[in-house]
Amino acid sequence: MHDMTSLTPQRCRLISYLALIVALLGMSAAAHAQGQAGTTLTVTKTATGFYERRIQYAWVLQKTVDLHTVDNLAVGATQPLSYTLQATRTSV
């Protein structure tokens, strides 16, 4: 799912191009208006680009233990065990 409020690099370029066109048209209109009393045109442009990339992952965990160390364990005795965890990540 894409967040519609964030700007992709393509959208940032499009906004920049549009702002440039507006600024150029404003300068052109101002140049044509010179000499005509009372006619002025002022153009300002502000833009803030934002890009956020979100990736969802699926995780698979595998847990293993070597039980050969407890084959001859006496009743009531204890034995430390070492577990191995393997994590695998894939894009959704």
Boundaries of domain holding 79: 57-91
- Residue 1 inside a domain? The answer is no
- Residue 73 inside a domain? The answer is yes
The type of residue at 56 is Q
- Residue 16 inside a domain? The answer is no
- Residue 69 inside a domain? The answer is yes
pLDDT tens track for 1-55: 455 556 677 777 778 778 777 777 766 555 555 556 677 788 888 888 888 989 9
pLDDT tens track for 46-74: 888 888 989 999 999 999 998 877 777 78
Cβ contact 27:45 at 8 Å: no
Model confidence, pTM? 0.35
Name the domain count of the chain: 1
- Residue 74 inside a domain? The answer is yes
Q: Give the DSSP letter string of 13-54.
A: HHHHHHHHHHHHHHHHHHHHHTTSTT----------------
- Residue 41 inside a domain? The answer is no
- Residue 52 inside a domain? The answer is no
Q: What distance, in Å, lies between the first and last C-alpha atoms of the chain?
A: 11
